[in-house]
Amino acid sequence: MRCSVWLMSGTCATFLLALSSGCNPMSAAMSGGRMLFNVAGEGSKLKVFLDNQEGKQNPLKKAWKGPKGTRFKVDDPVGTSPVFRYAIKDPEKFGRINTVMLAIHQEFKGDFSHLAEFVVHGRDSKAESQMKPDTDYDLGKLQENFKILDHRGDPVEKVKLAPGLKYRLVLTVVADRSETHIVDFETK
């Protein structure tokens, strides 16, 4: 509640600042309205947790860019083999889930490498081999029905990230309504 009041007052301040600086009142109103619309938009139907910390969007960036225009971020550093969990806010909107896959990309020269350090997916396409929502998966000790590939595409036994680096997790849920969720995080 406090966040939405704060954002609404920030939107009003933006509108008043635009008016006082000589902007067209219609243009200022449209900018303020767009920001309120962006804040109200829900965006992703997925939630991602690493070591029990939820990846969240910055409310100011969300107001400015829209709910799909901002990345999610885990604020505190996580372990080098974190526990991963995802949740679906509205499961019936996804329909039949076919594939769940996550990729972890390491920071590279101020951005993130296009090569995933690790890719985790089901060993086969059967429903029981896919990651289930609301289930904790220790990426250092995954069950045998999952495959973990390194950046060369070679199978490895576990996800082991380097300490003190920034990473980007890309979760893809392929279903009747598919979605990709991107979360930035850092390791301890």
**3-39 residue pLDDT tens:** 444 444 454 445 444 445 555 554 444 444 444 443 4
Residue type, 111: D
**Residue 128, pLDDT score:** 85
26, 68: one domain: no
**Residue 25, pLDDT score:** 54
125, 175: one domain: yes
Residue 121: φ, ψ to 5°: -155, 170
83, 156: one domain: yes
137, 84: one domain: yes
Q: Which residues of the chain have pLDDT under 70?
A: 1-43, 59-70
DSSP states of 46-61:
EEEEETTEE-EE-HHH
* Residue that is written with structure tokens 């680096």 in the block: 165
**Residue 174, pLDDT score:** 94
pTM of the shown model: 0.76
130, 176: one domain: yes
148, 100: one domain: yes
Residue type, 160: K
Enter the tokens of residue 76. 């505190």
60, 139: one domain: yes
- Please give the residue range of the domain that contains residue 24: 2-40
Q: How many structural domains are present in the chain?
A: 2
73, 134: one domain: yes
**Residue 120, pLDDT score:** 97
Rounded-to-integer distance, Cα 166 and Cα 188, Å: 10
**Residue 61, pLDDT score:** 56
36, 81: one domain: no
63, 25: one domain: no
108, 31: one domain: no
73, 112: one domain: yes
Contact between residue 140 and residue 104 where contact means Cβ atoms under 8 Å apart: no
